[in-house]
Amino acid sequence: MRLQSEPFAPGDLLAAFCKGRRDVGAVVSFTGLVRGDDETVQALELEAYAGFTDLEIGRMADAAAERHGLIDVLIVHRVGRLPPGEPIVFVATAAPHRRAAFEAADQLMDYLKSRAPFWKKSHEADGARWIEPRPEDYLDAARWDDAPAPASLKDRR
C-alpha cells in the first residue's frame, strides 16, 4: 500500500505487478481517475495522515486477501491536489482464479470510496467544498460487512 503525491503510470504498475508471475491464474486491476465531467471541477484535493491512513488501508487489504484467497494485492493512492483526468487510485489483485480477483478488487474499491480515512475537497470555480461519500457508496461497502465469502469462492481456493 502506497500513498503518494507523485503521479503514477497505471500501465507500468500493472506490468510490474504481473512480471514473472507463475503463481496466479488471474490479475484484476482498477484505475480511478479524477472526475471533472462538468467543467466546474478544477481539482480534487485529498488529505491523509501517513502512518494512519496507510495502515488502515493495509489492514483492509489484508482482510480482503484472506477472505478471497489472494496471492498478492497492490494499492497505490494519490494524495494532494489533482486535476481532472489524473489517475488517483490503482488497485491490483492476484488470485488463483478470476472470480476471487474480481471480488477482492471490488471490495477494496468499495472500502476506498466510502470508508478509507481520507478527507476530500473539491475545488470548483465558485470555491471549495468538502466531499462526503454518496449513500450508494455506503450501500456498496455494506455488501462486505460481516458476510462470509460465498461457498463458490471458498471451493476455488
Domain ranges across the chain? 2-144
Q: 36-71: buried (b, 16+ CB within 10 Å) or exposed (e) per residue?
A: beeeebebbbbebeeeebbebbeebbeebbebbbbb
Does the domain at 2-144 match CATH 3.90.1170.40? Answer given as: yes
Amino acid at 12: D
Q: Give the pLDDT of residue 152.
A: 46
Best CA proximity match to 45, nearest among 81, 12, 16: 81
CA distances for 55 relative to 48, 88, 95, 104, angstroms: 11, 18, 22, 18
Q: Give the pLDDT of residue 1.
A: 94
Distance CA 140, CA 91 (A): 17
Say what percent of the chain tops pLDDT 70: 93
Distance CA 67, CA 104 (A): 8
Q: Would the pTM count as exceeding 0.95?
A: no
Q: Which pLDDT tens digit goes with each residue over 61-93?
A: 999 999 999 999 999 999 999 999 999 999 999
Q: Which residue has the higher pLDDT, 141 or 147?
A: 141
Q: Environment class of residue 85 by beta-carbon count within 10 Å: exposed (0-12), middle (13-18) or buried (19+)?
A: exposed
Mean pLDDT for the chain?
A: 92
Q: Which pLDDT tens digit goes with each residue over 16-40?
A: 999 999 999 999 999 999 998 777 8
